[in-house]
């Protein structure tokens, strides 16, 4: 039950249509919370019924009409309540880890290729985050208030991606060494 809140946060920063929110969940906000447009529309509808957002129909020329949502006082109150509420630890889900654990039953070189692909994708995302850091927050020491908070969220992305990339590298090194044909001796078995 947090998509509601992610949408409220996003709408607090800028009043938007469902379409617009969906696009933003494909990039900026999507880096730390994700959702499809279908779900966004459904949740917006529910939030409207609960009175957390106020829809305003906007007629447009040359493109479809849209509904722009604004956060109501009730919505803002809900956000404040939710922020103070203790949050559960997110359960960790490492699919690559599950695969790795059973790797010896299957095709280890294929898995190695997969790990490399993940490394590349996470490294790419890390580059993106670092570019944002450089561009949007050149002097982090001087930051305060909301701008500081935004910066810290980005730092979370950087830290997590760094951890994943480093782990992928470690796995790639280890699997490569373990899969490679032994040069001198062949007493070291690879199958336990």
Partner DNA sequence: GGTTTCATGTAACTAGTTACATGATTTA
Partner DNA sequence: TAAATCATGTAACTAGTTACATGAAACC
Site for DNA in 90-109 (CB under 7 A): 91
What do you get for the CA distance between the two ends of the chain, in Å? 44
Position among 24, 28, 37, 54 found at the interface with DNA (CB under 7 A): 37
CB of 24 to DNA, least distance (A): 11
In the list its own copies, DNA, none, the entry touching 64 (Cβ below 5 to 8 angstroms by class) is DNA
CB of 61 to DNA, least distance (A): 8
DSSP class per residue in 20-70: HHHHHTTTTGGGT----HHHHHHHHHHHHHHTSEEEEEE--SSS--EEEEE
Residue 44, classified by CB atoms within 10 Å of its CB into exposed (0-12), middle (13-18) or buried (19+), is buried
Nearest to 113 by CA among 101, 98, 96, 129: 96
CB of 112 to DNA, least distance (A): 25
Element spanning 71, H or E: strand 66-71
If binding is defined by CB under 8 A, does position 133 make contact with its own copies?
A: no
Question: 98 is written with which tokens?
Answer: 């599950």
CB closer to DNA, 22 vs 111: 22
Site for its own copies in 65-124 (CB under 8 A): 76, 79-80, 82-84, 86-87, 89-107, 110-111, 114, 117-118, 121-122
* 8-state DSSP, 16: B
Position among 6, 22, 43, 47 found at the interface with its own copies (CB under 8 A): 6
- The site for DNA (CB under 7 A) is made up of 1-3, 17-20, 22-23, 34-39, 41-42, 44-45, 60, 62-67, 91
């Amino acid at each position: 039950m947090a998509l509601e809140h992610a949408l409220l946060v996003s709408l607090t920063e800028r009043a938007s249509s469902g379409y617009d929110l969906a696009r933003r969940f494909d990039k900026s906000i999507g880096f730390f919370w994700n959702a499809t447009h279908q779900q966004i529309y459904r949740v917006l509808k529910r939030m409207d019924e609960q009175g957390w957002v106020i829809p305003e129909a906007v007629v447009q020329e040359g493109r479809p009409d849209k509904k722009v949502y604004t956060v109501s006082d009730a919505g803002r109150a809900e956000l404040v309540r939710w922020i103070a509420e203790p949050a559960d630890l997110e359960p960790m889900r490492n699919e690559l880890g599950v695969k790795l654990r059973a790797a010896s039953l299957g095709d280890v070189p294929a898995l190695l290729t997969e790990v490399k692909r993940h490394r590349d994708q996470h490294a790419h995302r890390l580059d993106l985050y670092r570019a944002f850091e450089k561009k949007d927050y050149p002097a982090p020491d001087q930051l305060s208030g909301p701008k500081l908070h935004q910066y810290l969220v980005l730092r979370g992305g950087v830290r997590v991606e760094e951890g994943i990339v480093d782990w992928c590298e470690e796995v790639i090194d280890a699997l490569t060494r373990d899969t490679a044909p032994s040069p001198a001796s062949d007493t070291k078995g690879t199958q336990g």
